[in-house]
Structure 1
Amino acid sequence: MNTTIVSTNIANNVATITLGRPEVKNALNNDMHRALYDAFTQAKDDDNVRAIVLTGSGDAFCAGADLKSIDLSKFEEFDYGEALRETYNRLITLITSIDKPIIAAINGIAIGAGLSIALACDYRVASEKATFGLGFLNIGLVPDAGASYFLPKLIGYANALEMPLKGIFGAEEAKRIGLIHDIGDVTPWVEKVKQLPPTAFGLMKRNLREGSDSYLQEVLEMEVAAQVEASQAPEHRAALAHFVGKGVR
Protein backbone atom coordinates (compact mmCIF):
# COMPACT_ATOMS: atom_id res chain seq x y z
CA MET A 1 0.00 0.00 0.00
CA ASN A 2 1.24 3.51 -0.77
CA THR A 3 1.78 4.94 2.72
CA THR A 4 1.91 8.48 1.33
CA ILE A 5 -1.48 8.44 -0.35
CA VAL A 6 -3.16 6.51 2.48
CA SER A 7 -1.53 5.72 5.81
CA THR A 8 -2.73 3.38 8.54
CA ASN A 9 -1.72 3.57 12.18
CA ILE A 10 -2.81 0.81 14.55
CA ALA A 11 -2.63 1.58 18.25
CA ASN A 12 -4.71 0.51 21.26
CA ASN A 13 -6.91 -1.71 19.07
CA VAL A 14 -7.84 1.19 16.77
CA ALA A 15 -6.87 1.46 13.10
CA THR A 16 -6.66 5.10 12.04
CA ILE A 17 -6.75 5.44 8.25
CA THR A 18 -5.61 8.83 6.98
CA LEU A 19 -6.09 10.19 3.47
CA GLY A 20 -2.80 11.70 2.40
CA ARG A 21 -3.16 14.14 -0.48
CA PRO A 22 -3.52 17.41 1.43
CA GLU A 23 -2.29 19.43 -1.56
CA VAL A 24 -5.60 18.63 -3.31
CA LYS A 25 -7.79 18.48 -0.19
CA ASN A 26 -7.44 14.67 -0.22
CA ALA A 27 -9.35 14.37 -3.49
CA LEU A 28 -9.63 10.78 -4.65
CA ASN A 29 -7.81 9.45 -7.70
CA ASN A 30 -7.42 5.82 -8.78
CA ASP A 31 -4.23 5.30 -6.75
CA MET A 32 -5.92 6.53 -3.59
CA HIS A 33 -8.95 4.31 -4.25
CA ARG A 34 -6.72 1.26 -4.42
CA ALA A 35 -4.79 2.24 -1.33
CA LEU A 36 -7.96 3.05 0.64
CA TYR A 37 -9.56 -0.25 -0.33
CA ASP A 38 -6.44 -2.10 0.83
CA ALA A 39 -6.36 -0.16 4.11
CA PHE A 40 -9.98 -1.01 4.95
CA THR A 41 -9.43 -4.65 3.98
CA GLN A 42 -6.44 -4.93 6.29
CA ALA A 43 -8.30 -3.29 9.17
CA LYS A 44 -11.26 -5.59 8.59
CA ASP A 45 -9.10 -8.71 8.68
CA ASP A 46 -6.89 -7.71 11.63
CA ASP A 47 -8.25 -9.40 14.77
CA ASN A 48 -6.45 -6.86 16.96
CA VAL A 49 -8.49 -4.00 15.50
CA ARG A 50 -11.68 -3.25 17.44
CA ALA A 51 -12.55 0.05 15.74
CA ILE A 52 -11.63 2.01 12.62
CA VAL A 53 -11.25 5.78 12.29
CA LEU A 54 -11.15 7.45 8.86
CA THR A 55 -9.78 10.99 8.63
CA GLY A 56 -7.90 13.33 6.32
CA SER A 57 -4.49 14.97 6.42
CA GLY A 58 -3.98 18.71 6.43
CA ASP A 59 -7.08 20.88 6.68
CA ALA A 60 -9.46 18.64 4.71
CA PHE A 61 -11.33 15.38 5.14
CA CYS A 62 -11.97 14.71 1.46
CA ALA A 63 -12.97 17.01 -1.41
CA GLY A 64 -14.45 14.16 -3.45
CA ALA A 65 -13.26 12.95 -6.82
CA ASP A 66 -10.10 14.41 -8.30
CA LEU A 67 -11.64 15.72 -11.51
CA LYS A 68 -8.25 16.94 -12.69
CA SER A 69 -7.17 13.31 -12.98
CA ILE A 70 -9.62 12.85 -15.88
CA ASP A 71 -7.93 13.16 -19.27
CA LEU A 72 -10.16 15.67 -21.05
CA SER A 73 -8.70 14.69 -24.41
CA LYS A 74 -10.35 11.29 -23.88
CA PHE A 75 -13.53 12.65 -22.27
CA GLU A 76 -15.85 11.23 -24.93
CA GLU A 77 -14.48 7.77 -24.17
CA PHE A 78 -14.74 8.12 -20.39
CA ASP A 79 -17.37 5.79 -18.92
CA TYR A 80 -18.69 7.21 -15.63
CA GLY A 81 -20.65 4.04 -14.90
CA GLU A 82 -17.67 1.76 -15.29
CA ALA A 83 -15.52 4.14 -13.24
CA LEU A 84 -18.06 4.15 -10.39
CA ARG A 85 -18.36 0.37 -10.32
CA GLU A 86 -14.58 -0.09 -10.21
CA THR A 87 -13.91 2.54 -7.54
CA TYR A 88 -16.62 4.02 -5.31
CA ASN A 89 -19.14 1.20 -5.51
CA ARG A 90 -16.45 -1.33 -4.65
CA LEU A 91 -15.19 0.79 -1.74
CA ILE A 92 -18.61 1.61 -0.28
CA THR A 93 -19.63 -2.06 -0.47
CA LEU A 94 -16.49 -3.00 1.46
CA ILE A 95 -16.98 -0.33 4.13
CA THR A 96 -20.58 -1.35 4.79
CA SER A 97 -19.59 -5.03 5.00
CA ILE A 98 -17.23 -4.42 7.93
CA ASP A 99 -18.79 -5.45 11.25
CA LYS A 100 -16.40 -3.29 13.31
CA PRO A 101 -17.42 0.25 14.32
CA ILE A 102 -16.20 2.84 11.80
CA ILE A 103 -15.95 6.51 12.70
CA ALA A 104 -15.44 9.31 10.20
CA ALA A 105 -13.38 11.98 11.98
CA ILE A 106 -14.23 14.90 9.70
CA ASN A 107 -11.42 17.39 10.21
CA GLY A 108 -12.23 19.76 7.33
CA ILE A 109 -14.14 19.94 4.08
CA ALA A 110 -16.24 16.88 3.18
CA ILE A 111 -17.89 17.39 -0.17
CA GLY A 112 -19.18 15.28 -3.05
CA ALA A 113 -17.97 11.70 -2.90
CA GLY A 114 -15.88 12.64 0.14
CA LEU A 115 -19.12 13.26 2.00
CA SER A 116 -20.56 10.03 0.57
CA ILE A 117 -17.71 8.02 2.10
CA ALA A 118 -18.30 9.68 5.47
CA LEU A 119 -21.99 8.76 5.21
CA ALA A 120 -21.07 5.09 4.75
CA CYS A 121 -19.28 5.11 8.12
CA ASP A 122 -21.22 4.26 11.27
CA TYR A 123 -20.49 7.47 13.16
CA ARG A 124 -19.49 10.97 12.06
CA VAL A 125 -17.69 13.33 14.43
CA ALA A 126 -16.67 16.70 13.00
CA SER A 127 -14.29 19.40 14.08
CA GLU A 128 -15.67 22.91 14.53
CA LYS A 129 -14.01 23.98 11.29
CA ALA A 130 -15.48 21.12 9.22
CA THR A 131 -17.62 22.05 6.23
CA PHE A 132 -20.01 20.01 4.15
CA GLY A 133 -21.62 20.06 0.73
CA LEU A 134 -23.25 17.76 -1.80
CA GLY A 135 -21.45 19.34 -4.72
CA PHE A 136 -22.45 16.97 -7.50
CA LEU A 137 -25.12 19.14 -9.10
CA ASN A 138 -22.67 22.04 -9.35
CA ILE A 139 -20.96 20.14 -12.17
CA GLY A 140 -24.12 18.68 -13.66
CA LEU A 141 -23.87 15.26 -12.04
CA VAL A 142 -26.06 13.33 -9.60
CA PRO A 143 -24.99 12.20 -6.11
CA ASP A 144 -23.20 8.87 -6.15
CA ALA A 145 -20.99 6.63 -3.98
CA GLY A 146 -24.06 5.72 -1.94
CA ALA A 147 -25.22 9.26 -1.14
CA SER A 148 -28.67 8.58 -2.64
CA TYR A 149 -29.02 5.63 -0.25
CA PHE A 150 -27.63 7.11 2.95
CA LEU A 151 -28.83 10.72 2.87
CA PRO A 152 -32.61 10.08 2.99
CA LYS A 153 -32.10 7.51 5.74
CA LEU A 154 -29.94 9.83 7.85
CA ILE A 155 -31.59 13.23 7.39
CA GLY A 156 -34.91 12.49 5.66
CA TYR A 157 -36.10 13.00 2.09
CA ALA A 158 -36.90 16.70 2.47
CA ASN A 159 -33.51 17.59 3.96
CA ALA A 160 -31.75 15.47 1.35
CA LEU A 161 -33.51 17.38 -1.44
CA GLU A 162 -32.53 20.67 0.20
CA MET A 163 -28.84 19.78 0.40
CA PRO A 164 -27.93 21.13 -3.09
CA LEU A 165 -29.55 24.45 -2.18
CA LYS A 166 -27.45 24.86 0.95
CA GLY A 167 -24.13 25.07 -0.83
CA ILE A 168 -21.26 24.70 1.65
CA PHE A 169 -22.36 24.71 5.30
CA GLY A 170 -20.73 24.22 8.68
CA ALA A 171 -20.68 21.67 11.45
CA GLU A 172 -23.49 23.26 13.48
CA GLU A 173 -25.92 22.97 10.56
CA ALA A 174 -24.72 19.43 9.87
CA LYS A 175 -25.46 18.52 13.49
CA ARG A 176 -28.86 20.22 13.38
CA ILE A 177 -30.09 18.18 10.42
CA GLY A 178 -28.60 14.90 11.70
CA LEU A 179 -25.79 14.57 9.19
CA ILE A 180 -23.19 14.15 11.96
CA HIS A 181 -23.35 12.80 15.49
CA ASP A 182 -21.12 15.24 17.32
CA ILE A 183 -18.79 18.23 17.06
CA GLY A 184 -15.43 18.13 18.79
CA ASP A 185 -12.87 15.54 19.85
CA VAL A 186 -13.33 12.09 18.34
CA THR A 187 -11.47 10.36 21.20
CA PRO A 188 -14.48 9.81 23.52
CA TRP A 189 -16.35 8.18 20.65
CA VAL A 190 -13.40 5.91 19.89
CA GLU A 191 -13.14 4.83 23.51
CA LYS A 192 -16.86 4.06 23.66
CA VAL A 193 -17.06 2.00 20.47
CA LYS A 194 -13.96 0.00 21.45
CA GLN A 195 -15.89 -1.36 24.42
CA LEU A 196 -18.83 -2.63 22.35
CA PRO A 197 -19.18 -6.43 22.12
CA PRO A 198 -17.89 -7.10 18.59
CA THR A 199 -20.19 -9.94 17.57
CA ALA A 200 -23.37 -8.29 18.83
CA PHE A 201 -22.45 -4.90 17.36
CA GLY A 202 -21.71 -6.37 13.95
CA LEU A 203 -25.03 -8.21 13.91
CA MET A 204 -26.92 -5.12 15.10
CA LYS A 205 -25.28 -3.02 12.42
CA ARG A 206 -26.29 -5.50 9.73
CA ASN A 207 -29.89 -5.75 11.00
CA LEU A 208 -30.34 -1.98 11.19
CA ARG A 209 -29.02 -1.50 7.67
CA GLU A 210 -31.02 -4.29 6.08
CA GLY A 211 -34.06 -3.87 8.31
CA SER A 212 -34.91 -0.45 6.96
CA ASP A 213 -35.52 -2.01 3.54
CA SER A 214 -37.45 -5.06 4.75
CA TYR A 215 -40.93 -5.97 5.95
CA LEU A 216 -41.56 -6.44 9.67
CA GLN A 217 -41.75 -10.23 9.50
CA GLU A 218 -38.46 -10.36 7.63
CA VAL A 219 -36.83 -8.14 10.26
CA LEU A 220 -38.19 -10.28 13.09
CA GLU A 221 -36.62 -13.37 11.53
CA MET A 222 -33.36 -11.47 10.95
CA GLU A 223 -33.34 -10.64 14.66
CA VAL A 224 -33.95 -14.29 15.57
CA ALA A 225 -30.96 -15.44 13.51
CA ALA A 226 -28.76 -12.64 14.84
CA GLN A 227 -29.74 -13.28 18.46
CA VAL A 228 -28.92 -16.97 18.16
CA GLU A 229 -25.49 -16.10 16.76
CA ALA A 230 -24.84 -13.37 19.33
CA SER A 231 -25.82 -15.63 22.22
CA GLN A 232 -23.12 -18.10 21.25
CA ALA A 233 -20.34 -15.50 21.25
CA PRO A 234 -17.90 -15.52 24.19
CA GLU A 235 -18.51 -11.85 25.04
CA HIS A 236 -22.20 -12.55 25.72
CA ARG A 237 -21.43 -15.48 27.99
CA ALA A 238 -18.86 -13.46 29.91
CA ALA A 239 -21.22 -10.50 30.27
CA LEU A 240 -24.10 -12.72 31.37
CA ALA A 241 -21.94 -14.46 33.97
CA HIS A 242 -20.82 -11.10 35.29
CA PHE A 243 -24.38 -9.77 35.35
CA VAL A 244 -25.70 -12.63 37.47
CA GLY A 245 -22.75 -12.31 39.84
CA LYS A 246 -20.86 -15.44 38.93
CA GLY A 247 -17.86 -13.60 37.52
CA VAL A 248 -16.09 -14.24 34.25
CA ARG A 249 -14.79 -17.76 33.79
Structure 2
Amino acid sequence: METILYHIENGVATITLNRPEVKNALNETLHKELYHVWEQARTSDGVKVIVLTGAKNAFSSGADLKSIPTETLKNFNHSDYLKRTFNQLIPLIDNTDKPTIAYINGVAVGAGLSLTLACDFRFASADAKLALSFLKIGLAPDAGTSYYLPRILGLGKAIELGLGEPITAEEAHRIGLIYQIGEPYEFIEKIKQVPQPAFSAMTAMMKNGLNGSLQDVLDREAEYQYMAGKSQAHSDAINAFLKKSR
Protein backbone atom coordinates (compact mmCIF):
# COMPACT_ATOMS: atom_id res chain seq x y z
CA MET A 1 0.00 0.00 0.00
CA GLU A 2 1.14 3.52 -0.78
CA THR A 3 -0.48 5.49 2.03
CA ILE A 4 -1.21 3.12 4.92
CA LEU A 5 0.91 1.09 7.34
CA TYR A 6 -0.87 -1.94 8.83
CA HIS A 7 0.48 -3.96 11.72
CA ILE A 8 -1.08 -6.62 13.95
CA GLU A 9 0.53 -7.63 17.25
CA ASN A 10 -0.95 -9.30 20.33
CA GLY A 11 -4.50 -8.81 19.13
CA VAL A 12 -4.07 -5.11 18.30
CA ALA A 13 -4.34 -3.86 14.71
CA THR A 14 -2.54 -0.55 14.30
CA ILE A 15 -3.50 1.39 11.18
CA THR A 16 -1.19 4.33 10.44
CA LEU A 17 -1.98 7.08 7.96
CA ASN A 18 1.32 7.30 6.09
CA ARG A 19 1.73 10.46 4.03
CA PRO A 20 4.08 12.35 6.36
CA GLU A 21 5.27 14.71 3.61
CA VAL A 22 1.78 16.34 3.70
CA LYS A 23 1.02 15.65 7.38
CA ASN A 24 -1.02 12.63 6.37
CA ALA A 25 -3.54 14.58 4.33
CA LEU A 26 -6.39 12.44 3.05
CA ASN A 27 -6.40 11.82 -0.69
CA GLU A 28 -8.52 9.28 -2.56
CA THR A 29 -5.80 6.64 -2.58
CA LEU A 30 -5.56 6.84 1.19
CA HIS A 31 -9.35 6.55 1.47
CA LYS A 32 -9.39 3.37 -0.61
CA GLU A 33 -6.50 1.78 1.26
CA LEU A 34 -7.86 2.78 4.67
CA TYR A 35 -11.25 1.28 3.83
CA HIS A 36 -9.55 -1.93 2.70
CA VAL A 37 -7.39 -2.44 5.81
CA TRP A 38 -10.16 -1.39 8.17
CA GLU A 39 -12.43 -4.03 6.65
CA GLN A 40 -9.63 -6.57 7.15
CA ALA A 41 -9.14 -5.57 10.78
CA ARG A 42 -12.81 -5.56 11.72
CA THR A 43 -13.39 -9.04 10.28
CA SER A 44 -10.16 -10.68 11.47
CA ASP A 45 -10.53 -13.19 14.30
CA GLY A 46 -7.03 -12.32 15.48
CA VAL A 47 -7.85 -8.64 16.08
CA LYS A 48 -9.40 -7.52 19.36
CA VAL A 49 -8.74 -3.76 19.19
CA ILE A 50 -8.17 -1.35 16.28
CA VAL A 51 -5.94 1.70 16.72
CA LEU A 52 -5.87 4.51 14.15
CA THR A 53 -2.96 6.96 14.19
CA GLY A 54 -0.68 8.99 11.93
CA ALA A 55 2.92 8.74 10.79
CA LYS A 56 5.60 10.88 12.44
CA ASN A 57 4.32 13.98 14.26
CA ALA A 58 0.84 14.38 12.76
CA PHE A 59 -2.46 12.55 12.78
CA SER A 60 -3.92 14.22 9.69
CA SER A 61 -4.06 17.69 8.21
CA GLY A 62 -7.45 16.90 6.65
CA ALA A 63 -8.54 16.54 3.05
CA ASP A 64 -5.69 16.93 0.56
CA LEU A 65 -6.91 19.92 -1.44
CA LYS A 66 -3.57 20.08 -3.26
CA SER A 67 -4.32 16.71 -4.85
CA ILE A 68 -7.16 18.33 -6.81
CA PRO A 69 -5.89 19.81 -10.11
CA THR A 70 -6.08 23.61 -9.98
CA GLU A 71 -7.88 23.82 -13.31
CA THR A 72 -10.71 21.59 -12.01
CA LEU A 73 -11.00 23.02 -8.50
CA LYS A 74 -13.63 25.58 -9.48
CA ASN A 75 -15.94 22.85 -10.76
CA PHE A 76 -15.02 20.27 -8.17
CA ASN A 77 -18.11 18.37 -6.94
CA HIS A 78 -17.76 18.13 -3.17
CA SER A 79 -20.92 16.05 -2.88
CA ASP A 80 -19.66 13.34 -5.22
CA TYR A 81 -16.30 13.33 -3.45
CA LEU A 82 -17.92 12.80 -0.05
CA LYS A 83 -20.18 10.04 -1.36
CA ARG A 84 -17.25 7.99 -2.65
CA THR A 85 -14.94 8.64 0.32
CA PHE A 86 -16.10 9.60 3.82
CA ASN A 87 -19.72 8.56 3.33
CA GLN A 88 -18.48 5.01 2.85
CA LEU A 89 -15.59 5.05 5.32
CA ILE A 90 -17.34 6.59 8.34
CA PRO A 91 -20.19 4.01 8.51
CA LEU A 92 -17.60 1.23 8.22
CA ILE A 93 -15.75 2.57 11.27
CA ASP A 94 -18.98 3.25 13.16
CA ASN A 95 -20.30 -0.28 12.57
CA THR A 96 -17.17 -1.99 13.86
CA ASP A 97 -17.98 -4.34 16.74
CA LYS A 98 -14.47 -4.22 18.21
CA PRO A 99 -13.16 -1.34 20.35
CA THR A 100 -11.68 1.40 18.17
CA ILE A 101 -9.17 3.99 19.35
CA ALA A 102 -7.89 7.10 17.59
CA TYR A 103 -4.47 8.20 18.84
CA ILE A 104 -4.04 11.84 17.81
CA ASN A 105 -0.25 12.07 17.81
CA GLY A 106 0.02 15.67 16.60
CA VAL A 107 -2.05 17.95 14.40
CA ALA A 108 -5.59 16.83 13.57
CA VAL A 109 -7.58 19.39 11.63
CA GLY A 110 -10.63 19.46 9.38
CA ALA A 111 -11.64 16.04 8.14
CA GLY A 112 -8.61 14.60 9.92
CA LEU A 113 -10.23 15.46 13.25
CA SER A 114 -13.63 14.36 11.93
CA LEU A 115 -12.21 10.91 11.25
CA THR A 116 -11.38 10.43 14.93
CA LEU A 117 -14.96 11.16 16.00
CA ALA A 118 -16.22 7.87 14.56
CA CYS A 119 -13.90 5.91 16.88
CA ASP A 120 -15.03 4.76 20.33
CA PHE A 121 -12.14 6.43 22.16
CA ARG A 122 -9.77 9.30 21.41
CA PHE A 123 -6.35 9.83 22.95
CA ALA A 124 -3.99 12.72 22.13
CA SER A 125 -0.34 13.48 22.67
CA ALA A 126 0.36 16.43 24.96
CA ASP A 127 1.46 18.61 22.04
CA ALA A 128 -1.52 17.79 19.79
CA LYS A 129 -3.44 20.60 18.12
CA LEU A 130 -7.05 19.99 17.12
CA ALA A 131 -9.27 22.14 14.93
CA LEU A 132 -12.29 21.98 12.66
CA SER A 133 -10.93 24.28 10.00
CA PHE A 134 -13.74 23.92 7.43
CA LEU A 135 -15.07 27.48 7.73
CA LYS A 136 -11.61 28.88 7.08
CA ILE A 137 -11.85 27.54 3.51
CA GLY A 138 -15.50 28.41 3.06
CA LEU A 139 -16.90 24.94 3.73
CA ALA A 140 -19.14 23.43 6.40
CA PRO A 141 -17.96 20.49 8.53
CA ASP A 142 -18.48 17.09 6.93
CA ALA A 143 -17.27 13.48 7.34
CA GLY A 144 -19.86 12.86 10.06
CA THR A 145 -18.87 15.84 12.18
CA SER A 146 -22.40 17.21 12.48
CA TYR A 147 -23.59 13.80 13.66
CA TYR A 148 -20.89 13.00 16.23
CA LEU A 149 -19.80 16.34 17.64
CA PRO A 150 -23.13 17.50 19.13
CA ARG A 151 -23.50 14.06 20.70
CA ILE A 152 -20.01 14.17 22.20
CA LEU A 153 -19.88 17.81 23.31
CA GLY A 154 -23.45 19.12 23.22
CA LEU A 155 -24.83 21.47 20.57
CA GLY A 156 -23.42 24.76 21.87
CA LYS A 157 -19.86 23.53 22.28
CA ALA A 158 -19.99 21.72 18.94
CA ILE A 159 -20.94 24.95 17.14
CA GLU A 160 -18.21 26.82 19.00
CA LEU A 161 -15.59 24.27 17.95
CA GLY A 162 -16.99 24.44 14.41
CA LEU A 163 -15.79 28.05 14.18
CA GLY A 164 -12.36 26.58 13.59
CA GLU A 165 -10.17 27.93 16.37
CA PRO A 166 -7.52 25.34 17.32
CA ILE A 167 -7.53 23.84 20.79
CA THR A 168 -4.85 22.04 22.78
CA ALA A 169 -4.97 18.48 24.01
CA GLU A 170 -5.56 19.83 27.52
CA GLU A 171 -8.63 21.78 26.39
CA ALA A 172 -9.86 18.80 24.34
CA HIS A 173 -9.67 16.66 27.46
CA ARG A 174 -11.40 19.28 29.60
CA ILE A 175 -14.44 19.47 27.29
CA GLY A 176 -14.62 15.71 26.79
CA LEU A 177 -13.49 15.56 23.18
CA ILE A 178 -10.70 13.13 24.04
CA TYR A 179 -10.64 10.38 26.65
CA GLN A 180 -7.11 10.97 27.88
CA ILE A 181 -3.83 12.79 27.19
CA GLY A 182 -0.93 10.48 26.39
CA GLU A 183 -0.36 7.20 24.61
CA PRO A 184 -3.20 4.67 24.79
CA TYR A 185 -1.15 1.51 25.29
CA GLU A 186 -2.01 0.87 28.95
CA PHE A 187 -5.68 1.43 28.14
CA ILE A 188 -5.42 -0.93 25.15
CA GLU A 189 -4.38 -3.79 27.42
CA LYS A 190 -7.48 -3.19 29.54
CA ILE A 191 -9.90 -2.81 26.66
CA LYS A 192 -8.59 -6.02 25.06
CA GLN A 193 -10.20 -7.87 27.95
CA VAL A 194 -13.75 -6.58 27.40
CA PRO A 195 -16.12 -9.42 26.53
CA GLN A 196 -17.79 -9.79 23.15
CA PRO A 197 -20.53 -9.52 22.08
CA ALA A 198 -21.31 -7.51 25.24
CA PHE A 199 -19.09 -4.58 24.19
CA SER A 200 -20.61 -4.25 20.72
CA ALA A 201 -24.09 -4.59 22.24
CA MET A 202 -23.31 -1.83 24.74
CA THR A 203 -22.07 0.63 22.13
CA ALA A 204 -24.99 -0.13 19.79
CA MET A 205 -27.50 0.40 22.61
CA MET A 206 -25.88 3.68 23.68
CA LYS A 207 -26.09 5.00 20.12
CA ASN A 208 -29.68 3.84 19.77
CA GLY A 209 -30.51 5.50 23.08
CA LEU A 210 -29.67 8.92 21.64
CA ASN A 211 -32.41 8.73 19.04
CA GLY A 212 -35.02 6.14 19.97
CA SER A 213 -38.02 6.44 22.24
CA LEU A 214 -37.87 4.87 25.69
CA GLN A 215 -39.89 1.88 24.52
CA ASP A 216 -37.69 1.45 21.45
CA VAL A 217 -34.60 1.49 23.65
CA LEU A 218 -36.07 -1.00 26.12
CA ASP A 219 -37.00 -3.35 23.28
CA ARG A 220 -33.54 -3.05 21.72
CA GLU A 221 -31.87 -3.66 25.08
CA ALA A 222 -33.83 -6.89 25.42
CA GLU A 223 -32.70 -8.02 21.95
CA TYR A 224 -29.02 -7.27 22.53
CA GLN A 225 -29.09 -8.68 26.04
CA TYR A 226 -30.45 -11.94 24.67
CA MET A 227 -27.46 -12.21 22.33
CA ALA A 228 -24.97 -11.28 25.06
CA GLY A 229 -26.58 -13.71 27.46
CA LYS A 230 -25.96 -16.60 25.04
CA SER A 231 -22.27 -15.82 24.67
CA GLN A 232 -19.38 -17.85 26.05
CA ALA A 233 -17.99 -14.72 27.70
CA HIS A 234 -21.17 -14.37 29.80
CA SER A 235 -21.12 -18.03 30.77
CA ASP A 236 -17.46 -17.87 31.81
CA ALA A 237 -18.01 -14.69 33.84
CA ILE A 238 -21.00 -16.16 35.69
CA ASN A 239 -19.12 -19.35 36.51
CA ALA A 240 -16.15 -17.36 37.78
CA PHE A 241 -18.45 -15.21 39.93
CA LEU A 242 -20.19 -18.25 41.44
CA LYS A 243 -16.87 -19.92 42.26
CA LYS A 244 -15.61 -16.77 43.96
CA SER A 245 -18.78 -16.36 46.05
CA ARG A 246 -18.70 -19.90 47.46
Aligned pairs (5 A) from 1:117-128 = 117-128=115-126
Question: Structure 2 regions of 5+ residues with no counterpart?
Answer: none
CA contact (8 A) 1:126 1:183 kept: yes
Aligned pairs (5 A) from 1:3-14 = 4-14=2-12
How far does residue 211 in structure 1 lie from its aligned partner after superposition?
Answer: 1.7
Q: Residue in 2 aligned with 1:72? A: 70
Pick which of 155-164 and 41-50 moved more: 155-164
Q: Residue in 2 aligned with 1:57? A: 55
Verify: 1:151 aligned to 2:155, yes or no.
Answer: no
Aligned pairs (5 A) from 1:14-29 = 14-29=12-27
Amino acid across the alignment from 1:115? L
SS at 2:6 equivalent: strand
Identity of aligned residues (%): 48
How far does residue 83 in structure 1 lie from its aligned partner after superposition?
Answer: 0.7
How far does residue 246 in structure 1 lie from its aligned partner after superposition?
Answer: 8.0
How far does residue 76 in structure 1 lie from its aligned partner after superposition?
Answer: 4.0
Q: Residue in 2 aligned with 1:218? A: 216
Please tell me the root mean square deviation across aligned C-alpha atoms, in Å.
Answer: 1.3
CA contact (8 A) 1:207 1:223 kept: yes
Q: Residue in 1 aligned with 2:158? A: 160
Amino acid across the alignment from 2:106? G
Query: Quick one: which of 170, 181, 184 aligns to 1:183?
Result: 181
Residue-by-residue CA offset, 1:113-140 (whole Å, 9 max, x unaligned): 1111101000001110111000000001
User: Matched residues in 1 for 2:23 and 2:196: separation?
Assistant: 33
How far does residue 184 in structure 1 lie from its aligned partner after superposition?
Answer: 1.0
Residue-by-residue CA offset, 1:142-173 (whole Å, 9 max, x unaligned): 00000001110101111111114461111001
CA contact (8 A) 1:50 1:198 kept: no
Q: Residue in 1 aligned with 2:229? A: 231
Pick which of 177-186 and 67-76 moved more: 67-76
CA contact (8 A) 1:63 1:114 kept: yes
Q: Residue in 1 aligned with 2:102? A: 104
Q: Residue in 1 aligned with 2:191? A: 193
User: Matched residues in 1 for 2:37 and 2:129: separation?
Assistant: 25
- TM normalised by structure 2 equals 0.97
- TM normalised by structure 1 equals 0.96
Amino acid across the alignment from 1:216? L
CA contact (8 A) 2:133 2:164 kept: no
Question: Structure 1 regions of 5+ residues with no counterpart?
Answer: none
Q: Give the number of equivalent residue pairs.
A: 245
Amino acid across the alignment from 2:178? I
Amino acid across the alignment from 1:85? K
How far does residue 72 in structure 1 lie from its aligned partner after superposition?
Answer: 2.3
SS at 2:243 equivalent: coil
How far does residue 217 in structure 1 lie from its aligned partner after superposition?
Answer: 0.6
Query: Quick one: which of 72, 85, 88 aligns to 1:87?
Result: 85
User: Matched residues in 2 for 1:92 and 1:167: separation?
Assistant: 24
CA contact (8 A) 2:136 2:164 kept: no
